[in-house]
Chains A and B, each alone.
Chain A
């Protein structure tokens, strides 16, 4: 099954198309995921597929990789009409794919993981892995245990695994979402090298700058249809975004913060020991958020952000003796649970919207009750349904939540709409301090822009906001000061206006001195 003999690209015939999609359509019931999509990819071409969440990018890739089949249209592989019936068939043809979520077993070594899909004994395989990693500039140690690897290293393992199968087409699904700016640069070097050797790359992303820097051509999808096929190097981010969204996107206004100097949220010397031995422990984390400012926490996810947000929300509590390590408006709250902290004026928007921020299977009205019950929705232990429903409907109206009414099941909403509902609900609590984790992660541009504007509006009303995000662009857009988390440690904060993505990028790999230098510069 594994390798077809003709899977290496044929040099010298670069003009012939490698993969051509002709009028490919796919629908799930009444939902049209792809509508007459045409794409043409030549050997060595880096081709971007650009679109918002739900635009049909994933469905298209699944059809190319054989996970699902089109309802209509033809796929031509090297000029021949081909049915790609399964991922095994796709691999045999010479198509490799690196998924956004890795499929590696954590407790065994890199080579052992790769041996599941590439035949050969481990010793010989290890040598091939070393050879490939040198040839393509992908530093991978075959004997390393996977759980010890960083996200970037794991991605390299996935890439090497694909490359060992000598593909002529490589599909990468949002490959940079987990990488630091420096790691992104390294990845691009590798990808360009692959391109020079004639390997075509389908690059799925919603990050416009990257696409302009890397790709030779781009297909833009909106609502399952192709809305543009362009050379991204000749476009601006703005024009690409317009093709992607279909309208102009307002950038969040970013007026200078006017903090009055009073500290609303203070964390001092917070260290934790996580139960999961593979989790990251917090190490003496210090931070202060003042009234009316947004403090951004940058960092590649998996560096302790999740532990930090759980300790801040009260989902994890500290022993009473250490309660002073977290203060809200001057009160020690480290020992209090989420409900008590909400009463103190904290509200929290978690990164998992469905399952944590909202209960799946329950209606929006019930999800309103989840945290907003103290807005008069409960009287003597009984639920006041009218008050609850009124709040839910008001939230849906004010936040422009697209749903089938307040009785709609939370799981029936798109990620963006559910996030708008959750943000609206937490705003209704009139918080003094808000902790927000990955607020625009995986949601469409329109909803993301709205969420960011609401955060700025809250800040202008004097609310203190802690924004944990792995989207550097977002942090630069709306935060007033930024700190970086790396392996459970927190850097000194720097003023957003006095720093650059490159410096933050250095801090994201642990070079905190960069921030200290800047703090010194700022002090002069």
Chain B
């Protein structure tokens, strides 16, 4: 593999420092590129930077927005990262989020005047189980027929969306909602309590995310189950030799990821949205994949990467107004993050060298 006199070789060793540098380099390069791009569109770079990274932190309302966006991102990413460490690629967290939200919403929709204190816990359990079940389909197909979990989870997301649309235009539609495709508003018993002052929308899901993060941190650093998953990811032959079951790794990875995504779905409908509607997430399930990798698949790293990504979501909305940049800005930025992440990771693992002039076909043998 050589090109214009250069060739790419695998590095034999990767320094821990280089691995730490990957997210930093990724973020810096993405910000620079974004500023250059939006400046070329006529925006003032200072205003873009300010509205992306300072303004979201400047008021308690904005801070609350950052938190409720960071919460699902971190939650999903923690679940996905456990699977990714085992090289089980669940790409369909978005669909698991949707199914989790749908199933959890059945409780407040059918008991729409309930005041039961069991409503919220019920929704949380149902949402997590439903997310698990949806991911479980992919786990079953992978474990039994070796069907690629990447494709299955991705396609299941599309199916989940259609299920949501069907339910909202039919069985679950609010009868007095002027035919809008949405459910009844949830009763207060079906909503996460908010905190942080008047008008701030930060809610219980932030606490849940914190608890899950700590739980994941303990699980990943201390438990034997996480060790087995990790060995399966870094050295599958060694895992096989040790007798760590690959099927079990597939099931566990997908079920944990599905549960986390389902829980995030509950956080959306029981949080800022307060009902079931066609758009439940601005792509949290996909953005969480970037968050997981940006955080180095480590619970603490994911926590900060999730906050950063949420900042970009909220900042993007603000910059839309104040700097006049396109509405797609946050998605573009996510794309930049992913591309730069992959590129910097590639160069941590590989190096580029000049090919000696007269080396021929079998030269390197």
Which residues of A come within 8 Å of B, CB atoms?
1, 67, 85-89, 99, 103, 116-117, 313-315, 337-342, 348, 350, 352, 355-362, 366, 369-371, 373, 378, 381-383
Contacts and interface: CB of A to CB of B under 8 A. Distances in A.
Contact of B242 (A87, A338, A352, A361): A338
Contact of A355 (B235, B359, B360, B364): B235
A366 to B, nearest CB: 7
A86 B355 CA distance: 11
Contacts of B356: 85-86
A315 B241 contact: yes
Given A361-B235, A383-B222, A103 B362 contact: yes
Contact of A382 (B223, B237, B361, B365): B223
B219 to A, nearest CB: 9
3 closest A-B pairs by CB: A339-B243, A338-B243, A359-B235
Contacts of A350: 241
B68 to A, nearest CB: 33
B240 A315 contact: yes
Nearest to A352: B237
Interface in B114-136: none
Interface string B199-219: 000000000000000000000
A383 B359 CA distance: 51
B358 interface: yes
Contact of B224 (A341, A357, A371, A378): A378
A383 B245 CA distance: 18
Interface of B: 222-225, 227, 231, 234-235, 237-245, 356, 358-365
- From B235, B238, B359, B364, name the one whose CB has the most chain A CB atoms within 10 angstroms: B238
Contacts of A361: 234-235
A173 to B, nearest CB: 11
Contact of A117 (B237, B241, B245, B362): B362
Contact of A88 (B239, B242, B359): B359
B240 A338 contact: yes
Given A85-B356, A87-B365, A313-B241, 10 more contacts: A67-B365, A86-B363, A88-B360, A116-B361, A352-B237, A361-B235, A362-B234, A370-B242, A371-B242, A381-B225
- From A99, A103, A350, A359, name the one whose CB has the most chain B CB atoms within 10 angstroms: A359
Contacts of B362: 87, 103, 116-117
14 contacts: A67-B363, A85-B356, A86-B356, A86-B358, A87-B362, A314-B243, A315-B240, A338-B242, A340-B243, A355-B238, A370-B241, A371-B242, A381-B225, A383-B224
Main SS of chain A's interface residues?
loop
A67 B240 CA distance: 36
A252 B224 CA distance: 39
Contacts of A89: 358
Contacts of B225: 381
B240 A359 contact: no
Given A88-B358, A366-B227, A369-B227, A382 B222 contact: yes
Contacts of B238: 355-359, 370
A352 B244 CA distance: 18
Nearest to A89: B358
B241 A362 contact: no
Contacts of A360: 234-235
A85 B356 CA distance: 8
Contacts of B360: 1, 86-88
A315 B237 CA distance: 9
A62 to B, nearest CB: 10
A142 B227 CA distance: 51
Contacts of A355: 235, 237-238
Contacts of B224: 369, 373, 378, 381-383
A337 B239 CA distance: 12
Contacts of B365: 67, 87, 99, 103
Contacts of A313: 241
Contact of B359 (A87, A359, A373): A87
Nearest to A373: B224
B247 to A, nearest CB: 11
Contact of A381 (B223, B234, B363, B364): B223
B227 A337 contact: no
Contacts of A373: 224
A374 to B, nearest CB: 10
A348 B242 contact: no
Contacts of A337: 243, 245
A3 to B, nearest CB: 14
Contacts of A378: 224
Nearest to B359: A86
Contact of B231 (A341, A342, A348, A362): A362
A366 B363 CA distance: 39
B225 to A, nearest CB: 6
A356 B236 CA distance: 8
A370 B238 CA distance: 8
B7 to A, nearest CB: 14
Contacts of B235: 355-356, 359-362
A161 to B, nearest CB: 10
A350 B235 CA distance: 14
Contacts of B242: 338-339, 370-371
Contacts of B240: 315, 338, 356
Contacts of B363: 67, 86-88
Contacts of A362: 231, 234-235
Nearest to A66: B363
B228 to A, nearest CB: 9
Contacts of A371: 241-243
A257 to B, nearest CB: 28
A99 B238 CA distance: 28
A388 B222 CA distance: 12
- From B231, B243, B359, B360, name the one whose CB has the most chain A CB atoms within 10 angstroms: B243
A412 to B, nearest CB: 9
A76 B136 CA distance: 68
Contacts of A370: 231, 238, 241-242
Contacts of A87: 359-360, 362-363, 365
B199 to A, nearest CB: 43
A362 B232 CA distance: 12
A112 to B, nearest CB: 14
A357 B359 contact: no
Contacts of A103: 362, 365
A276 to B, nearest CB: 15
A370 B227 CA distance: 9
B18 to A, nearest CB: 14
A378 B223 CA distance: 8
A116 B361 CA distance: 9
A360 B231 CA distance: 10
Contacts of B359: 86-88
Contacts of B241: 313, 315, 338, 348, 350, 356-357, 370-371
A355 B231 CA distance: 10
B234 A359 contact: yes
B14 to A, nearest CB: 9
Given A86-B356, A339-B242, A383 B361 contact: no
Contacts of B231: 359, 362, 366, 370
